[in-house]
Structure 1
Amino acid sequence: MRQLISFIKKEFIQFFRDPKMLALSIIVPLFQLIILGYAANLDVEDIPTLICDRDNTQVSREYVDSFTKTGYFDVKKRVHNIQNIDKYIDRGEVSFVLIVENGFERKIKKGASPEVAAIIDGSDSNTATIGLNFSSMINKDFVKKILKKRTSLMKNIKYGQIEPVVRIEYNQNLESRNFMVPGILGLLLLIITMVVTSLAIVKEKERGTLEQVMVTPIKGWQMILGKLIPFTIIGIIDIFLVIGATIFIFGIPLKGSLLLIFFLTLVYLISTLGLGLFVSTISQTQQQAMLTSVFFIITPMVFLSGFIFPISNMPKIVQWITYIFPLRYFLVIIRSIFLRGVGLKVLWDQILMLFGLGIIIFAVSNIRFTKRAD
C-alpha cells in the first residue's frame, strides 16, 4: 500500500512539473467549455433571406412583414426582378428566397389563391427543413390572424388562401448526409495529415534519431520536404477514397469539377501539414503532440468551422474567431463544388483566404522547425 501511495505521489509531482500537461488537462477544457457552450447551438435563426415582392401592395407588404418580424428570417436582399435570383444562392449569400407575384392582393380579395414561391437552399438540410417549417407556420398564421382581422372589418369581402409553390435546390430530399459527408473529407485530411505528421516527427525526437539526421549534410528544406511529402501522398490517396465513397456508397452526385476539388484540396493540405509541423515544434512527446492536436486544433475546428453548427448562429465574437480556422473555408469550398456545382468565379474569395492562411501557417511552422533544428 505504501508503494502505491508513493507511486501516486510521484505521478502528481511529475504532472505538475509539466506546465503543458497541466494546461491541457485543466485550463484548456475549461476554456473550450465556455467557447463551445455558446457555439454549440442547433437552433436556426436569422436565415439569410431574399425578398422579391413583385406585387408591392399593402397586403403583399403585410405578408412579407409576417416573415421578417418573426426573427427566423434575416432579409439580406430585396429585388423586384426574379431573373438571376439563383446567383445569390450559388454564392451562399441567401438560403431562402420568397417571391410574391403580381396580383397578390387582387386575388386574395377575389377569394382566389395568389401565387407565392419559396426557393430554399437544400445543401444545408437542417436549415432548409426548419426554414420550410417556419414558412409553413407563418403562412397559416397570416391566413388565420391578419386576413381574419381584415374580414371582420370588411365582411362583404371573401379572402382567398395562400398556397405557396416550394422549390428546393441542390438537395431535394433534404438528406443531412448530403451536407455532412462532403465535409468529412476536410475533417479526415486534418486529422490524418496533421496528427500523423506531428507524431512522426516527435517520435523521432524521443528516439534521438532526429538529432542524428540533423548532423548529416542534408539541408533544412530537404528535411522538411522529406518529412511532409509522404503524408501529402497519403492525403492525396484519402482524397480519392473519400470522394469515391461519397459518390458510389452514399450516392451523392458530384455536381462540380473533380479536378477543381483535387487542386483546392492540395491548397488545404498546406495548412494541415503546416499545423502538423507546428505541433511537432512545441511538443516533446507523442502524448503531448496528440493532446495538443486534439484540444487546441481538432476540437475547436470541428465545432467552430461550420462542420456541425451553423456559424451564423454563434455570437459575433465567436464568429470572428472562426476566421482563423482553415477548415471553415475548405468546408464552404467542398460543399459548394460538390452540391451546387459552382466554380472559381463564386469561390475565389474563400480560396484566397484558405491559400493565404495556409502560407502563413506553413511559413511560421517552417521557421520554428528550422530554428529548433539549428
Structure 2
Amino acid sequence: MSWRRLWAIVVKELRQMSRDRVTLAMIVGIPVIQLVLFGYAINTNLRGLDAGIVDQANTSGSRALVMDMLATGVMSPRYHETTPEALMALLRRGDISLGVTIPPDFERRRIDGRPVAQILVDGSDNVVQSAAAQLAQVPVNSAAPDTRSPIVSTPPQGAISIVSFYNPQRRSAVNIVPGLVGVILTMTMVLFTGIAIVRERERGNMELLIATPLTSAELMIGKVLPYIAIGLIQVSVILALGRWLFDVPISGSLLDVYLAAMLLILANLTLGLLISTRATSQFQAMQMTFFIFLPSILLSGFMFPFAGMPRVAQWIAEVLPLTHFLRLIRGVMLRGAGLWEMWVDVLALVAFTAVMMTAAILRFRKRLD
C-alpha cells in the first residue's frame, strides 16, 4: 500500500466535498437541527393547551375552581361558551384540546359529594389525555363555597370527571395510523419529484425535452400528475391496512379523507419539483429531501405534541404541509369533522401548493447548464 496514493485519494475526496455545498450543509446542519429540535423544541410536558370553558353556575366557588385549573398552566382559555354543545363543536373542529364545563347546580353537587365539573378531552391525542388528568387533581375544596348557600360542607377530593372522546380506549394506533398517511406521503412524494428533473438530465433526456415545444409550466404540471395517482394508491393501502390490522375508524366522510390527502400530495409534489430545479444530482436531491423530512416529522405534531413546543418552533411548523394535513386527517377520521370546518388548514395547503409550483416554474429553464 502506498501512503502517498492513499493521501492523494483523501485530499481528492475532501476537495470534492468542499465543492458540494449541500453535503457541507448536512455535515453541520444535521447535528445542529437534531440538537435544537430534541433539546429545545421537543417538549412532552404540555402547557397552554387551547381550552374552552362553560361555567353555567357562575358562582364564586365555580369561578375559583376555574382559576385554580388555569393556575396549573396546563390549559389556556381561548373560548368562553354558554353550553357544552358549543364545546363539543370546538373539539370536533380541532379548535380546542380541552373543554371544562361546570353545571348550574355546582354548589349543590359539591355539598352532595357528586362530580362538580367535567373535563372534555380530545382523546385522539393520548398525551392530551395525560395532561387532562393533571387538571382533574385540582382540589375542589380550595374553591370558596357560595356564601348564599346556608349549608357548607367539606367537598370530596377528585370531584372532577374526565370524559374522553374519539379514542376512549387510548389506543396508540388510532392516533398513529392517520398520521402515517401524511408521513409516508411526505417522504415519497417529495422524493419522487425531487429527483424528476435531475433524472432527466442524468439520463440525457433533457436534450429531447429542450427540442420539444413544451413550456416550463406544461413540463412541471406533467411531472406532477402521474404521481397523484400513486399517492392516492398509497393512501388506499394505508387506510385498508389500518382498518384491517388496527381497527382504526373513519368517523368522517371518506371523500374528505381523499380530498385532504390530495391537498398534501399536491403540496409535496410541488415542493419536490422546486427541489429538483435546485439539485444537480439525484443524490443531492435526496439530501435536500431529508432536510425537509426531518423537521416535518418532528415539528408537525406526529411524534411529539404540538402544544408543547415553543412559539418559534410552532411558527416554523406552520410552514410545513404535514402540520396542516395532520389536523385535517385526524379531524376527519377521528372526530368526524368536515373539511369545511377546518378551512384554515385547507387554505394553508392550497396556498403552499400555489407558491411552490410558481417558484418551480420560474426556476426551471429548458437548458442543460
Q: Aligned to 1:319, which of 314, 334, 346?
A: 314
CA distance in 2, matches of 1:111, 1:261: 47
Q: Which runs of 5+ in 2 are unaligned?
A: 146-150
Q: Which runs of 5+ in 1 are unaligned?
A: 151-155
The CA deviation at 1:260 is: 1.8
Q: Cα deviations across residues 297-355 of structure 1 (Å, max 9, x unaligned)? A: 11111112222223322222222222221111111111100001111331122111111
Letter in 1 for 2:274: F
Q: Give the RMSD, CA atoms, in angstroms.
A: 2.4
The CA deviation at 1:263 is: 2.2
Partner residue, 1:137: 137
Q: Aligned to 2:23, which of 21, 33, 39?
A: 21
CA distance in 2, matches of 1:286, 1:114: 62
Counterparts in 2 of 1:68-79, with a 5 A limit? Answer: 68-79=70-81
Letter in 2 for 1:75: P
- Aligned residues of 1:281 and 1:372 also touching (Cα < 8 A): no
**Farther-moved stretch of structure 1 (69-78 vs 332-341):** 69-78
Partner residue, 2:336: 341
Q: 1:75 to 1:224 in 2, by over 3 A?
A: closer
Counterparts in 2 of 1:112-123, with a 5 A limit? Answer: 112-123=113-124
- Aligned residues of 2:72 and 2:135 also touching (Cα < 8 A): no
Counterparts in 2 of 1:71-110, with a 5 A limit? Answer: 71-108=73-110, 110=111
CA distance in 1, matches of 2:173, 2:31: 30
CA distance in 1, matches of 2:84, 2:194: 52
The 3-state SS of whatever aligns with 1:252 is coil
Q: Aligned to 2:58, which of 56, 59, 75?
A: 56
CA distance in 2, matches of 1:286, 1:90: 43
- Aligned residues of 2:50 and 2:96 also touching (Cα < 8 A): yes
The 3-state SS of whatever aligns with 1:324 is coil
CA distance in 2, matches of 1:32, 1:359: 30
Partner residue, 1:365: 360
Identity of paired residues, percent?
30
- Aligned residues of 1:304 and 1:311 also touching (Cα < 8 A): yes
Partner residue, 2:148: none
The 3-state SS of whatever aligns with 1:340 is coil
Partner residue, 2:200: 204
Partner residue, 1:65: 67
- Aligned residues of 2:121 and 2:128 also touching (Cα < 8 A): no
- Aligned residues of 1:194 and 1:272 also touching (Cα < 8 A): yes
The 3-state SS of whatever aligns with 1:84 is helix
Q: 1:333 to 1:197 in 2, by over 3 A?
A: same
**Farther-moved stretch of structure 1 (272-281 vs 15-24):** 15-24
CA distance in 1, matches of 2:80, 2:255: 36
Partner residue, 2:232: 236
Q: 1:217 to 1:256 in 2, by over 3 A?
A: same
Q: 1:234 to 1:159 in 2, by over 3 A?
A: same
Partner residue, 1:38: 40
The CA deviation at 1:365 is: 0.9
Partner residue, 1:153: none
CA distance in 2, matches of 1:334, 1:56: 37
CA distance in 1, matches of 2:233, 2:301: 25
Partner residue, 2:159: 163
Aligned residue pairs total: 361
CA distance in 1, matches of 2:260, 2:47: 31
Partner residue, 2:249: 253
Q: 1:279 to 1:345 in 2, by over 3 A?
A: closer
Q: 1:345 to 1:13 in 2, by over 3 A?
A: closer
- Aligned residues of 2:216 and 2:366 also touching (Cα < 8 A): no
CA distance in 1, matches of 2:325, 2:171: 21
- Aligned residues of 1:122 and 1:174 also touching (Cα < 8 A): yes
Q: 1:172 to 1:35 in 2, by over 3 A?
A: closer
The 3-state SS of whatever aligns with 1:51 is strand
Letter in 2 for 1:14: Q
- Aligned residues of 1:232 and 1:269 also touching (Cα < 8 A): yes
